[in-house]
Amino acid sequence: MEFTLSIYFIPLFIAVFLSAFVAHHAWYHRKHPQGKAILALSLAACWWAGVNILEYGCSSLAIKEFWAALEYFGIEAIPIAWLAVILIFTDNRKWISLRNILLVSIIPALTIILMVTNSCHGLMRTHIALDTNGPFSVITKDYGPWFWVAMSYNNLLMIVSALLLIQRLGRSPKMQRGQIFLMLIVFIVPWFGNYMFIFKFGPFQRIDMTTTLLSVSGALMTFGLIRFKLMNVIPIGRNFIMEKMNDPILITDSLNRIVDFNRSCVQLFKLDNKCLTKAADDVLTPVKIFFSDINRQDNFSQKFTIGVDKEIRHYELRVNALFNDRQKFMGRVFHFRDITLQRNSEIEREKMIRDLQDALNTVDTLSGFLPICSHCKKIRDDDGYWNDLELYLSEHSNIQFTHGLCNDCLQKYYPEEYERAQLKGKNE
């Protein structure tokens, strides 16, 4: 079997390398749904580009057809894997189930079978020949009826993915728009190359530019892994956030890394896009001491303060764990509620209670032993001074005095008034 190497294969080798690099990183996140989806997507792209090199390099038509048929394992897997990535990225993972995956894979599976058995029916390709006019030979063919069915179906999956991304773009904060634009470019570049090849647009009509442009998508995906941490920064809980909420809201993933926050949280903790994917306990310094308890509980609540002197603000922190439909832990929602007014009212109330308690304690001292003169009835205070009984009681309680005469004093000092009162029956 003769094999021809060409300088034109360099982009394909780059595509294989970059796809393998993305797959390598996705492998370490394979326990998470986003890791599995990106792993499947990168492996399919790596397979397509690698087998495409074998197709172009071989000189025999029969062997080229063999490798071309095997390419379809990658070609048909990419739209499904890409749709899965977008469903997870846009918080629509509820649609990802074994049943739905099998349903979506029916037409791709039929396409692969028909491609492998094409020599029996010609539903995928007809008029197959070998074109040797160039640095390497390529297959020329006409497309069969099922090819257009498969192409339309794959394009439908890609269009649905694009619409989901565009819809997400309209309601995402600025911090996520860069990720979405990157995903759109990763999707559009090879799709554009595929259309150029199928409909014979542009200067590259002998070779399929799709796999070549996969190197560009691979480079962009690699950039996304490094710059935007796409494997981690998947909006796992955007539905839990209302961007216009006054309360600060922050979301972490299962690895305790920050994946989202609203504008109020930006103002409270001075956050920016550089905080994405960083450990939450390194960024949220005022509540760092609570993280050991937060990591052990599904629901956590604690009050804390920020600032000093007149700038003190009081907050109540509530942390709730997030689980998917299968009850798998996905991350946490941090909700910070400003309770400054409520706390200030509590402080005022506590001060008032202390003042009342002090007053009661002062009144209680009057019920104890008081030094009193046995003759003039003056009271001795704590400083050793003697005070009139009325003055002492007025100063140490809320008692106000009103004067009168008892019967004994009235009879002793005012006998006439006493007798008059007796006649009127007022003295008892």
Q: For residue 279, what is the DSSP state?
A: B
Instruction: Compute the distance between CA of residue 73 and CA of residue 86 in angstroms, rounded to an integer.
Output: 20
Instruction: Compute the distance between CA of residue 424 and CA of residue 417 in angstroms, rounded to an integer.
Output: 11
**What pLDDT does residue 176 have?**
62
H helix or E strand, kind and range, residue 415: helix 415-423
- Tell me the pLDDT of the chain (428 aa) as tens digits: 678 888 878 888 888 888 888 888 888 777 777 778 888 888 988 898 899 889 888 988 999 999 999 999 998 998 898 888 888 877 777 888 889 999 999 999 999 999 999 999 999 999 999 888 877 888 888 989 999 999 899 889 888 888 887 887 765 555 566 677 777 777 777 777 666 666 666 555 556 666 666 656 656 665 565 555 555 544 544 545 455 678 888 888 888 888 888 888 888 888 887 787 788 989 898 898 999 999 889 899 999 888 776 678 889 999 999 886 667 788 899 999 999 888 888 888 888 888 777 766 665 555 566 777 777 777 777 777 788 877 777 776 666 767 777 777 777 777 887 777 777 765 55
Q: Could you tell me the residue ranges of all domains in the chain?
A: 7-227, 238-343, 369-428
- Count the alpha carbons within 13 Å of 270 in the hemisphere toward its beta carbon: 3
Residues 215-270: tens digit of each pLDDT: 566 566 655 655 555 555 445 445 454 556 788 888 888 888 888 888 888 888 88
Place of tokens 């999707």: 187
Q: For residue 398, what is the DSSP state?
A: S
Q: What is the CATH number of domain 7-227?
A: 1.20.1070.10
User: Both tokens of residue 318?
Assistant: 């509530």
Instruction: Compute the distance between CA of residue 409 and CA of residue 404 in angstroms, rounded to an integer.
Output: 10
CB 215 within 8 A of CB 230: no
Architecture of domain 238-343: 2-Layer Sandwich (3.30)
Q: Is 81 exposed, middle or buried (0-12, 13-18, 19+ CB in 10 A)?
A: buried
Residues 147-182: tens digit of each pLDDT: 999 989 988 988 888 888 788 776 555 556 667 777
